[in-house]
């Protein structure tokens, strides 16, 4: 909370879902009404629920990485879920690059696990582009800014003309699978970060966490390579 031009700005974080039952207006026009707090079905952390006995001998970091390889969630999502899946699911729903209709539909899910969508894909072909763990600041100029992407190719040469980010040059990036324009890469030789990506919201969407983009075998192979 901070003061601004004589007023007070309050930033709140959602902690519970509720359904509006009645709406009324007071004499002074102030709205009020009755709400019912919706129950949350919070599953135990996936890393613990699916943990084989042999995993108990691994370090916490390795444990989470192997659990990420056999589930549809990333290491980042599993790690964050240990601190409270419900609160984390609200953060994910608030920061996903989706329209309001999809956001509201996502929040109607009674199970927090189903709101933990952390893979961003190409809206046209479904190829994986990035994960929520790569997000930098959220939206800037209707762009979803992330530190890194996969499955994209550059088109043309870097240009500083009309750059949305002063000091950075931009390069068009397309989906490597279907050729759809998905955003730009911004680079600078003087500023930090030296590079980042801006994905246009109209070209991306979140993947459904209940339907993994890559197979478990592929993810285990990727883990072995890393």
* Rounded percentage of the chain residues whose pLDDT exceeds 90: 24
Cα–Cα distance between 6 and 20 in angstroms, integer? 32
Give how far Cα 80 sits from Cα of 59, 90, 184, Å: 17, 12, 28
Looking at per-residue pLDDT, the higher value among 18 and 155 belongs to 155
pLDDT at 209: 47
Cα–Cα distance between 114 and 142 in angstroms, integer? 26
Cα–Cα distance between 128 and 206 in angstroms, integer? 9
Instruction: Answer yes or no: is pLDDT of 148 > 80.
Output: yes
Cα–Cα distance between 46 and 189 in angstroms, integer? 42
Task: Identify the H or E element spanning 105.
Answer: helix 100-107
Cα–Cα distance between 188 and 117 in angstroms, integer? 31
Cα–Cα distance between 226 and 222 in angstroms, integer? 6
The pLDDT confidence band at residue 31, using thresholds 50, 70 and 90, is confident
Fold for 119-209, please state it: 2.170.150
pLDDT at 109: 75
pLDDT at 173: 97
Dihedral pair phi/psi, residue 98, rounded to 5°: -135, 160
């Amino acid at each position: 909370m901070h003061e601004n031009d004589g007023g007070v700005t309050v930033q709140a974080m959602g902690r519970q879902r509720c359904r509006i039952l009645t709406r009324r207006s007071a004499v002074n026009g102030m709205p009020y009404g009755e709400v019912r707090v919706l129950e949350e079905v919070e599953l135990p952390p996936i890393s613990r629920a699916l943990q084989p006995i042999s995993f108990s001998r691994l370090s916490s970091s390795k444990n989470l990485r192997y659990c990420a390889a056999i589930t549809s969630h990333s290491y980042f999502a599993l790690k964050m879920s240990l601190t409270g899946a419900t609160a984390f699911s609200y953060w994910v729903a608030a920061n996903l690059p989706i329209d309001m209709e999809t956001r509201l539909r996502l929040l109607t899910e009674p199970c927090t696990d189903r709101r933990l969508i952390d893979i961003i894909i190409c809206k046209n072909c479904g190829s994986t582009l990035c994960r929520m763990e790569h997000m930098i600041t959220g939206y800037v100029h209707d762009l979803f800014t992330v530190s890194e992407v996969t499955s994209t190719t550059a088109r043309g040469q870097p240009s500083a003309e009309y750059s949305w980010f002063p000091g950075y040059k931009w390069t068009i990036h397309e989906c490597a699978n279907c050729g759809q324009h998905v955003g730009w890469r911004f680079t600078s030789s003087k500023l930090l970060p030296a590079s980042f990506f801006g994905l246009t919201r109209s070209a991306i969407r979140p993947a459904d966490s209940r339907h993994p983009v890559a197979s478990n075998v592929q993810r285990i192979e990727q883990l072995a390579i890393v």
